[in-house]
Amino acid sequence: MLKGLIFFIKFAWKEKKSYVVLNAVNQLLLGILPLVIIAVPSYVIDELMEKQRISVIAAYVIALLLAIFVNSWVVQHINLVVFTQRIYLAARFDKYMHAKLANTDFCNLEKPSFHDMAEKAKKFLYGDGRGFSYVMESAFSIIGKVITLFGIIAIISMMNAWIVAIFLLMILASAFVDSKSKEKNHKIAMEAVNVERRWGYFSRILEDTSFSKEIRMNNLSDWLLNKEIDYSEKAIQYYKKRNRFSSLSILFNAFAGLLQNGITYAYLVYRVIMQTITIGEFTLYLNAVATFSGAVSGVLSSLVDIKIYGLYYDDLDEYVHISETLRDNQKLPVPISRQGDFIISFKHVYFRYPGQEIYALKDVNVEIHSGTKLSVVGENGAGKTTFIKLLCRLYDPTEGEILCNGINIRDIDYDKYMAIFSAVFQDYKLFSFSIRDNIVLNDAKVSDERVNQLLRKVGLYEKISRLPKGINTNIYKEFDESGIEPSGGEAQKIAIARAIARDSKIVILDEPLSALDPKAEHEIYEQFEDMVQNKTAIYISHRLSSSRSCDSILVFENGSITEMGTHQELVEKGGKYAELYSMQADPYKD
């Protein structure tokens, strides 16, 4: 129950100590002030009814006004400061969570169970929609309520100790019912996670302008809207189930409150009639009972919340401690010679995706030498992209090993190994940044001159230089109305410039020119060798004419390399490559 709370407090103390201190101070004030505001008016009333000493009344009134002032300004000021600090902590925790998302093994991102786990973790972090740090602030609130509670108990005990016992029993019964209701609601909330994620997915599609063309051209609006409504209604059914249990708990608590108030008024009115208490004491006890109920209920409710959200903590704990197996290794340096020479070797590599029985790659054996221009060809589903994913270590082989200059890449520092690659995948993404930032990304060493040089290489310089902001023009209009919407071919050229801009040893182009017409593709390939200079270039393309200039070609079929050689060698061999090349060349023959 306390693990989640301890986790929160440790995080807050590390990131923003004043947040913890101010919360504690605030709760001390909130614990003491209600006692002053409850007690002082009764003393004023009794003084007015009896001795009417002006100095005493003035002292009471000043004390009361100070308490009200502290409650009205000091406490509220602290709340405002704590609010901004809460946002600060939430931002730091988002960074922490997003770092887990960015660094987790790539295979986790393809598991629905991982995304369900992340969604459940958020329910703890954000109090199931009540806001970041709700659980911790619920715990802090117990401090103030307990201080108030002890003071109130002391006051009510002077009235009648048995009434205190009866009220406690009633409040405990209410807390028990509330606890059972929240436990049931927690179970229902966990069942609803997958439906809520699907609802959110359709909402995001409709809000994401990158889907706008598909929606319009395929007349999908009604279909997607109906899907959104369908999953929203399924989610609402879960909410209705939760409301039913909450409603029963509320009814029980309301009845207990009615009974408590009835007993209080009956007993106090009787005591006034019997002249055993004064009007001031009547006011004191009446306010004390009302505050007592709220304080006890508040403490118990906070304890119940901490207990319930503790059930969510297991998912948070699993999420933040999910293993990063790809980074958990010997962290050896990349074994590339001073001259930059290397050989990457696939040795009897087999691979199948998690949860799949069929191998995507089977007994792959190949060596990639530095400075090589390598083409990887084959029909869809042949294993080309999977081969690249293993080369880039997005996955590790199921069987066999991949070596870099004789060292298993599993033992090489993951981030340093990844730094030798730059890639443009089929599903590349541009960001809502400037053109320059999309090319440079986080590499501050790349100059504007180098950016313009790369734009010349890919054939975009003339168009971009005519824009009012040049390379500082934003891509997309999300943050800037003067931003541009690049065509598919233009976007791919920017992505290629980005890949070349990195100081990497190996450039991978996975279907990089699929959006270009044959003429533009030919122009890019003519410039490609100059762009990559002495780098190793590996690219996948269905247009086999681009393979003619490569040093070597790998032909994949059903997850295996069935042919290997130069363009001329494979054409003369008359195998699969020759068949595919002939099929593409025929339409251009007279």
The closest of 531, 109, 504, 561 to 319, measured between CA atoms, is: 109
356, part of any domain: yes
What distances in angstroms separate CA 415 from CA 327, 329, 497, one per listed residue? 8, 11, 22
486, part of any domain: no
Domain boundary, last residue among 289, 320, 351: 320
The closest of 495, 517, 585 to 547, measured between CA atoms, is: 585
For β-strands 343-351 and 536-540, DSSP reports them as unpaired
As a dihedral over the C-alpha atoms of residue 561, residue 564, residue 587, residue 520, rounded to 10 degrees, the angle is 100
Q: Are residues 297 and 352 in the same domain?
A: no
283 Cβ partners below 8 Å, 6+ apart? 41, 42, 45
Residue 23: what are its φ and ψ, rounded to 5°?
Answer: -60, -40
What CATH number corresponds to the domain at position 404?
3.40.50.300
For 346-366, give the DSSP string.
EEEEEE--TT--S-SEEEEEE
- Do 559 and 383 meet the contact criterion of CB atoms below 8 Å apart? yes
Which pLDDT does position 52 carry in this prediction?
Answer: 74
Q: Are residues 361 and 312 in the same domain?
A: no
- Do 165 and 308 meet the contact criterion of CB atoms below 8 Å apart? no
Vertex 105: Cα angle to 102 and 107 (nearest 5) = 115
What CATH number corresponds to the domain at position 169?
1.20.1560.10
DSSP H or E run through 438: helix 435-440
350, part of any domain: yes
Which pLDDT does position 128 carry in this prediction?
Answer: 67
Sign for the pseudo-dihedral over CA of 49, 53, 55, 56? negative
Domain boundary, last residue among 281, 305, 320: 320
Give the Cα separation of 124 and 306 in Å (integer): 10
Domain boundary, last residue among 287, 320, 353: 320
Count of residues making up the chain:
590
Three-state helix/strand/coil letters over 374-437: EEEEECCCCCHHHHHHHHCCCCCCCEEEEEECCEEHHHECHHHHHCCEEEECCCCCCCCCEHHH
Cβ-based neighbour number of residue 589 at 10 Å: 6
Tokens of 95: 């960074």
Q: Are residues 307 and 270 in the same domain?
A: yes
Cβ-based neighbour number of residue 432 at 10 Å: 14
Q: Are residues 222 and 271 in the same domain?
A: yes
42, part of any domain: no
Sign for the pseudo-dihedral over CA of 126, 12, 295, 56? negative
For 512, the domain range is 343-430+507-516+537-588
DSSP, res 544: G
The closest of 377, 438, 385, 405 to 566, measured between CA atoms, is: 377
Q: What is the pLDDT along the chain (590 residues), one digit of tens a residue?
A: 577 778 888 888 888 889 888 888 887 777 777 777 777 777 667 667 776 777 777 887 787 778 777 777 887 888 888 888 888 888 888 888 888 888 888 888 878 888 888 877 777 777 666 667 777 777 777 777 777 777 777 776 666 667 767 777 777 777 777 777 777 777 787 778 888 888 888 888 777 766 776 676 667 788 788 888 888 888 888 888 888 777 877 777 777 777 777 777 777 777 778 777 777 777 777 777 767 767 776 777 777 777 777 767 777 888 878 877 888 888 899 988 777 789 999 999 999 988 888 999 999 999 999 989 999 998 888 999 899 999 999 899 999 999 999 999 999 999 899 889 988 887 788 888 899 999 988 787 889 999 998 898 888 999 999 999 999 999 988 788 888 989 878 888 898 888 888 878 899 888 766 556 666 666 666 666 677 777 898 988 776 767 887 889 999 999 999 999 999 999 989 888 898 888 876 544 44
For β-strands 552-557 and 536-540, DSSP reports them as unpaired
What distances in angstroms separate CA 464 from CA 99, 454, 478, 516, one per listed residue? 34, 12, 19, 18
- Give strand pairing partners of 368: 344
Which pLDDT does position 590 carry in this prediction?
Answer: 44
461, part of any domain: no
Cβ-based neighbour number of residue 590 at 10 Å: 2
- Do 459 and 524 meet the contact criterion of CB atoms below 8 Å apart? yes
- Do 322 and 100 meet the contact criterion of CB atoms below 8 Å apart? yes
Q: Are residues 289 and 354 in the same domain?
A: no
77, part of any domain: no
Q: Are residues 315 and 407 in the same domain?
A: no
Give the Cα separation of 304 and 311 in Å (integer): 11
What distances in angstroms separate CA 445 from CA 155, 448, 449, 451, one per listed residue? 71, 10, 11, 11
Q: Are residues 215 and 270 in the same domain?
A: yes
Starting at the earlier edge strand, list the strands of the sheet with 373-378. Answer: 421-424, 506-510, 536-540, 373-378, 552-557, 560-565
Vertex 387: Cα angle to 381 and 392 (nearest 5) = 135
Q: Are residues 370 and 273 in the same domain?
A: no
Give the Cα separation of 509 and 391 in Å (integer): 13
- The model's pTM is 0.67
93 Cβ partners below 8 Å, 6+ apart? 11, 125, 132
Q: Are residues 156 and 288 in the same domain?
A: yes
Give the Cα separation of 168 and 523 in Å (integer): 84
Which pLDDT does position 500 carry in this prediction?
Answer: 86
Structural domain count, the chain: 2
What distances in angstroms separate CA 81 from CA 19, 26, 29, 391, one per listed residue? 8, 11, 15, 50
Which pLDDT does position 517 carry in this prediction?
Answer: 66
Q: Are residues 311 and 371 in the same domain?
A: no
Q: Are residues 305 and 410 in the same domain?
A: no
62, part of any domain: no
DSSP, res 326: T
Q: Are residues 259 and 402 in the same domain?
A: no
The closest of 78, 96, 84 to 140, measured between CA atoms, is: 78
85, part of any domain: no
- Do 374 and 508 meet the contact criterion of CB atoms below 8 Å apart? no
- Do 289 and 264 meet the contact criterion of CB atoms below 8 Å apart? yes
Give the Cα separation of 359 and 131 in Å (integer): 45
